[in-house]
Structure 1
Amino acid sequence: MATNLEFKAHCQSFENLYSRLADLNATHRETVHQTDTYFYVTQVKDAPTLATCKPRLKLREIDETGEAWLIYYERPNHSESRYSQYQLSKVSAPSTLKTLLTVALGVETIVQKQREVWMFKNTRIHLDTVADLGQFIELETVFQGQTEFKAADEHQHVKRTLHLGTADPVAVSYSDLVMQKS
């Protein structure tokens, strides 16, 4: 599985972040509406995994492009930057797959969001407006093509430049927040 170093925090407003993203030389890639359908999934015994992580499986559908991805990931729930292991696969027939997974596993929850995607080197910066939850910033620093040390250094550089040291961190998935609210 691939590995990210991730951080998520509540955000009162994106306005202050835009100038900091410019200071960082981050590039705006796209703004999209995503629907993530989370399915019930349990830990497979003896599977390679991050300790004490709740596994998650979601179907992500992107309105603007019609693309869809099946994403499995494991990430501990804590408010610091944390490692996430994930695997994803592009889906050519999302409605058929959604029906199949709904019947086989059941839907745990659905998260709808507008996402601004920014990039700085190997770090994806997401400015998310999540339905019924508000605004968040999320960092995902991908390890692909670099050492863990370099990825962690880049991740911390982005956090410092965006002034996220004093941010209100979020320890859980958007799916957990949606379920807590309902």
Structure 2
Amino acid sequence: MCEPGIQLGAGAVPADQRNVEIKARIPGGSEDFERRLDIARKLTGDSQGALIVQRDVFFNSPQGGRLKLRYLQAPARSQLVFYDRPDVAGPKLSKFNKIEVDEPAVLEKILAQSNGTLGVLAKERLLFIHGQTRIHLDDVKDLGYYMEFEVCLRPEQTLEEGQVIADELTKTFEIEQKDLMTGSYFDALRKNQGDAK
């Protein structure tokens, strides 16, 4: 998710952070993943990308949206994230808030006791930055290969401006309409686990 911007004074309520997102399956396995990785390298001039190992614990969110505790490997700090976005294919607006967490295991226990845990999703992510967009190439445990664009909107930018950027990247990475996801990785994981029972 995009990094927070302006710091606010004490007592001020922060505005929601916003981005335009696209998630898509990479159906051709490791070969197709490597092809998309090569596109990201050429587009950004970054030969490696930043490797991020993530473990997300999802909790019930009675008011809607999604609530997760994201464990990150040191030196990065773990994060508590709430986000809300429509479950539709193609570019969609995501509103979110997040905060860094020093004691994630304690917070996980508290949230499990108060809200209830839905499940866990683990992935290895390669991050590339292109302009105001985070390009993620993800190897999701028990799901496979995926990619995601997060167009980090500035306060004055509209949803439509972000959608134009996301659509251009969809073409650049040769993503087909049938591979676009409507929900989250966690939704897909839960569906697969349900189908396996």
TM class, shorter-length: 0.7 to 0.9
Alignment of 1:14 with 2:14, yes or no, is no
How has the CA–CA distance of structure 1 residues 161 and 26 changed in structure 2, closer, same or farther, with 3 Å as cutoff? Answer: farther
User: Counterpart of 1:174?
Assistant: 185
Alignment of 1:36 with 2:56, yes or no, is yes
- Unpaired segments ≥5 residues, structure 2: 1-15
User: Counterpart of 1:84?
Assistant: 94
- How many matched pairs? 172
Please, which of 44, 48, 54 is the counterpart of residue 25 of structure 1?
A: 44
Please, which of 15, 19, 39 is the counterpart of residue 4 of structure 1?
A: 19
What is the CA deviation profile of residues 42-75 of structure 1, one whole-angstrom value per residue up to 9, with x for unaligned ones? 22xxxxxxxxxx4100000112435200000001
Q: Secondary structure at the match of 1:14?
A: helix
CA distance in 1, matches of 2:84, 2:45: 27
CA distance in 2, matches of 1:138, 1:122: 14
Q: Secondary structure at the match of 1:20?
A: helix
Q: Secondary structure at the match of 1:138?
A: strand
Output the TM-score relative to the length of structure 1.
0.87
Structure 1 segments (4+ residues) deviating >3 Å: 26-29
How has the CA–CA distance of structure 1 residues 7 and 26 changed in structure 2, closer, same or farther, with 3 Å as cutoff? Answer: farther
Of all paired residues, the percent bearing the same amino acid is 26
- Kindly indicate whether the alpha-carbon contact (under 8 Å) linking 2:20 and 2:151 is maintained by their aligned counterparts in 1: yes
Tell me how large the CA RMSD over aligned residues is.
1.8
Please, which of 167, 172, 197 is the counterpart of residue 161 of structure 1?
A: 172
Whichever residue aligns with residue 33 of structure 1, its letter is: V
Displacement of 1:153 in angstroms is: 2.6
CA distance in 2, matches of 1:42, 1:145: 28
- Unpaired segments ≥5 residues, structure 1: 44-53
How has the CA–CA distance of structure 1 residues 39 and 146 changed in structure 2, closer, same or farther, with 3 Å as cutoff? Answer: same
CA distance in 1, matches of 2:77, 2:131: 24
Output the TM-score relative to the length of structure 2.
0.80
Displacement of 1:156 in angstroms is: 2.1
How has the CA–CA distance of structure 1 residues 146 and 22 changed in structure 2, closer, same or farther, with 3 Å as cutoff? Answer: farther
Q: Which shows bigger deviation, 147-156 or 123-132? A: 147-156
What is the CA deviation profile of residues 64-119 of structure 1, one whole-angstrom value per residue up to 9, with x for unaligned ones? 43520000000111112111110111111111111110111111110000111111
